[in-house]
Structures are given as C-alpha cells and as structure tokens.
C-alpha cells in the first residue's frame, strides 16, 4: 500500500521504529501513520476489546486512537516507551466509552454468531478463545492477558500501563491463564 516505504516487511517492529514514526506523524506524515497503524492495530484493538468488551466499541476506540495519535503526536516525549504512551491513550478512550455506556456490555452470543457468520477469518476456535478471554476472566485479568499475548508486553510494562503493582499483575496473569487453559482444555467447570 502507499505507506509501505516506511515499514519494510523485513524490518522488525521496535520501540525505536515506533518513536521515529511518531516523530513523522507529528509533522503530519500520513504514511508514517499508516505504518504505525499496520504494526499496532491488533494490539490496540485487542486491548480496547478487553476493556469495552464488545466489538463495536472496540472498533470505535481503534479508530479514535489513531486519530488522537495523529492530533497529539507532537506532545509525545521521546522516552523510549512509545507503546506505553499509545496504550495509555487506548485505555483512556476505552474507559470513556465504558463510562458513556455506564456499564460494560459483554459480547452476546448473538453478536458472536453474527461475527463468525460475516467475518470469514474468524474461526470457531477464535470464537471459543475470545469468549473465554472476555467472559470467563475478570476485565482486569483480560487486559493483562491481552497486553501480554497480543502486544507482547512484559509484566513490568503492563504494571506501568495499568498502574498496578508488578506482583498484582503477575498473580492476576497466572490466575487468568490458568482459567483460560482449563476452559480451552475443556475442563471449564473446574476453573470457576
């Protein structure tokens, strides 16, 4: 696509690349915004989904996040933690969505059915996994797991973004993964 000059396929996405993207976005470089989007959309969407817990709001947050990054990239201070900055934006926008709705509306069975019918790439395993990650564990556990699994964050980085002590992140993470394992291994009843 038109932004490919920026993120060449062979180059590994890194904090340094992300920072250089933000620098260019601050100068309203759309190609840089496209490159940032391509490399971070899954993590942004996954993290938003774990907070708002429904696909429509998560999609809104995905969109608003990058519009917001475009508008405020010049405020980003180079400290080597661009992803943490981005996730703080995602978190704030998601929490605003939740506040707007006054409560989280979980993904309904009906919604999942429609999703899997429309979106060819979503497999029945995906459906099982996401239902578990959004329904069988607490919202906070879900956020921790998403940041670890999809964004590739280390536990201490998650602690910073979520403003939680590292020990809490670790124990919640372990608890969550254990529950998810038992759901996915088909011994769900035991995990409750």
Partner 1 sequence: MRNKEVEQKIKNAVEHLTPDVLDCILSECDERRGNVYIVQPMKRKGRWMYAACALAAAFVLVFGGLSAFGWISAHQVDALVTLDVNPSVELKVNKDDRVLAADAKNEDAVKILDNMDLKNTPIDVAINALIGSMLKHGYIQENSNSVLLSVESVNGAKSAVLQRNLTESISRQLNRVNGAVISQNLTNDGELQTLAEAHQISYGKAALVQKILNENSHLLFADLAKLSINELNLLIGSKHIEAKGMEAQGSASDTAFIGEERAKQTALEHAGISESEIERLRIELDYDDGAMVYDVEFYHNAQEYEYEINAKNGTVVEHDRENRDRDDRREPPAAPQSHNKDDFIGEARAAEIAEKHSGVPRHTGMKVELDKEDGFYIYEVEFDADGKEYEYEINAATGEILSWECEEM
Which residues sit at the interface with partner 1, rule CB under 8 A?
Answer: 1-2, 4, 8-10, 12, 28, 30, 33-34, 37-38, 41-42, 45-46, 49, 55, 59, 62-63, 66-67, 70-71, 115, 119, 121-123, 125-127, 129-130, 133, 145-146, 148-150, 152, 154-156, 166-167, 170-171, 174, 177, 180-181, 184-185, 190
Comparing CB distances to partner 1, the nearer of 101 and 181 is 181
59: buried, middle or exposed (CB in 10 Å: 19+, 13-18, 0-12)?
Answer: middle
What are the C-alpha distances in Å from 165 to residues 88, 176, 177? 17, 17, 18
Comparing CB distances to partner 1, the nearer of 163 and 186 is 186
* Rounded least distance, CB 189 to partner 1, Å: 11
* Rounded least distance, CB 135 to partner 1, Å: 13
Closest C-alpha to 180, from 159, 172, 107, 87: 172
User: 115 with 55: CB under 8 angstroms?
Assistant: yes
Give the single-character DSSP code of 9.
T
């Amino acid at each position: 696509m038109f932004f490919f000059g920026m993120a060449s396929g062979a180059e590994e996405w890194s904090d340094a690349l992300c920072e250089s993207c933000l620098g260019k976005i601050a100068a309203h470089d759309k190609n840089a915004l496209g490159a940032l989007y391509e490399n971070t959309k899954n993590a942004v969407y996954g993290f938003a989904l774990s907070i708002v817990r429904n696909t429509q709001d998560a999609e809104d947050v995905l969109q608003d996040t990058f519009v917001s990054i475009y508008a405020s990239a010049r405020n980003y201070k180079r400290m080597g933690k661009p992803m943490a900055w981005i996730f703080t934006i995602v978190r704030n926008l998601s929490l605003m969505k939740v506040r707007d709705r006054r409560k989280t509306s979980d993904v309904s069975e009906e919604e999942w059915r429609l999703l899997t019918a429309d979106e060819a790439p979503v497999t029945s395993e995906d459906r099982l996994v996401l239902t578990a990650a959004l329904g069988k564990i607490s919202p906070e556990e879900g956020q921790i797991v998403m940041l670890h699994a999809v964004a590739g964050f280390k536990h201490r980085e998650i602690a910073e973004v979520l403003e939680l002590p590292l020990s809490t992140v670790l124990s919640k993470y372990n608890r969550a993964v254990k529950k998810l394992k038992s759901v996915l291994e088909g011994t769900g009843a035991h995990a409750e």
